[in-house]
Amino acid sequence: MRSARLAVVLDVACVLVFVIIGRASHREDLTGVASTAWPFLAGLAGGWLATAGLAGRAWRPSGLWPGGVGAWLGAVVLGMLFRVVSGQGTAPAFIGVALAFLGLFLLGWRLLARLLPGRLGWLRR
């Protein structure tokens, strides 16, 4: 249970970092973080639910598969769909950046936890 809560916190933090960096790179203020972040956070939740439903009791949200891949693809694919529905932009370059950044971060912390069990093994408990 502890690793599930930590996985949620780390995944949400990754999405928020993505949104904040993106807004800053376009010289937009931080007042619109919530409106930019919600599609990705909703997609992230959808990815968690989908992978949890498919994996059943074997689901580990802090694992690379299916937890990490589900979180990543849910955040990007569902996030982009939610952006379209809400009238926000989804330029091809933006989709590529989202895939790369969120993939690096959402899968990256999980990979570090797997490769460095002595230091980050507590993430896998």
pLDDT, residue 61, reads 81
pLDDT of residue 80: 97
Number of Cβ within 10 Å of residue 25's Cβ equals: 9
**pLDDT score at 27:** 81
Q: Tell me what percent of the residues of the chain surpass a pLDDT of 90.
A: 62
pLDDT at 23 over 80: yes
Residue 22 scores a pLDDT above 70: yes
Taking all residues of the chain, what is their mean pLDDT, rounded to a whole number?
A: 88
* Burial of 20: CB neighbours in 10 Å, binned 0-12, 13-18, 19+: middle
The reported pLDDT for the residue numbered 11 is 97
pLDDT tens digits, residue range 30-55? 788 999 999 999 999 999 999 988 77
Per-domain boundaries in the chain = 2-124
Q: pTM for this one?
A: 0.88
